[in-house]
Amino acid sequence: MEDRLQIMLVDDEEIVGKRLKSSLEKEGYAIEFFLTGSEALKRLDEKHFDIVVTDIRIDEIDGLEILDAVMENSPETKTIMITGYATAEIAREALAKGAFDFIAKPFRPKDLREVIIKAARQIKRD
C-alpha cells in the first residue's frame, strides 16, 4: 500500500469535489471523488480507504448509509461527515454510529484539513 493517506470524498456537487480535491492534494493526500453514494459504496468494496469524507445529503444513498457501510467493513476507517443542513439530531446520530467528526457548511478547506490531520494522527496512534 502507498504511504500516502487514502481519502474518499463523496458529495453530490461537482464544485465541492473540485475545490476540496485540489486543496487536499496539495497536502499530499491521495483523493478519490464520487458524486453518488452507490459509486462510493462500490469503490469501498474494492479498496481500503483511511479516511472517508462524505456529505450527508446525497441522492438515493445518503451519507449515513455510507457511514454504516464503512463501520461494517473497515471500522478503523475514519469517517468525517459534512453537510449544510446539519441538525443536532443528525450530528449526534452520526457520532453515535461511529463518525469521527462533523463539519457544517459553509466551511473553509482549511477547516477540513485540520480535521483530516486530527484523524490521521488518530490513525497513526491506532
Degrees, nearest 5: CA angle 1-43-71? 85
Report in angstroms how near the CB of residue 44 gets to other proteins at its nearest.
19
Degrees, nearest 5: CA angle 99-124-116? 45
Cβ-Cβ contacts under 8 Å for 48 (sequence gap 6 or more): 1, 6, 74, 77
Report in angstroms how near the CB of residue 10 gets to other proteins at its nearest.
17
Which 8-state DSSP code applies to residue 83?
A: E
For other proteins, give the closer residue by CB, 48 or 73.
73
Report in angstroms how near the CB of residue 30 gets to other proteins at its nearest.
28
Binding site for other proteins (CB under 8 A): 68, 83-89, 91-93, 95-97, 102-106
CA 32/CA 13 separation, integer angstroms: 14
Report in angstroms how near the CB of residue 72 gets to other proteins at its nearest.
11
For other proteins, give the closer residue by CB, 43 or 118.
118
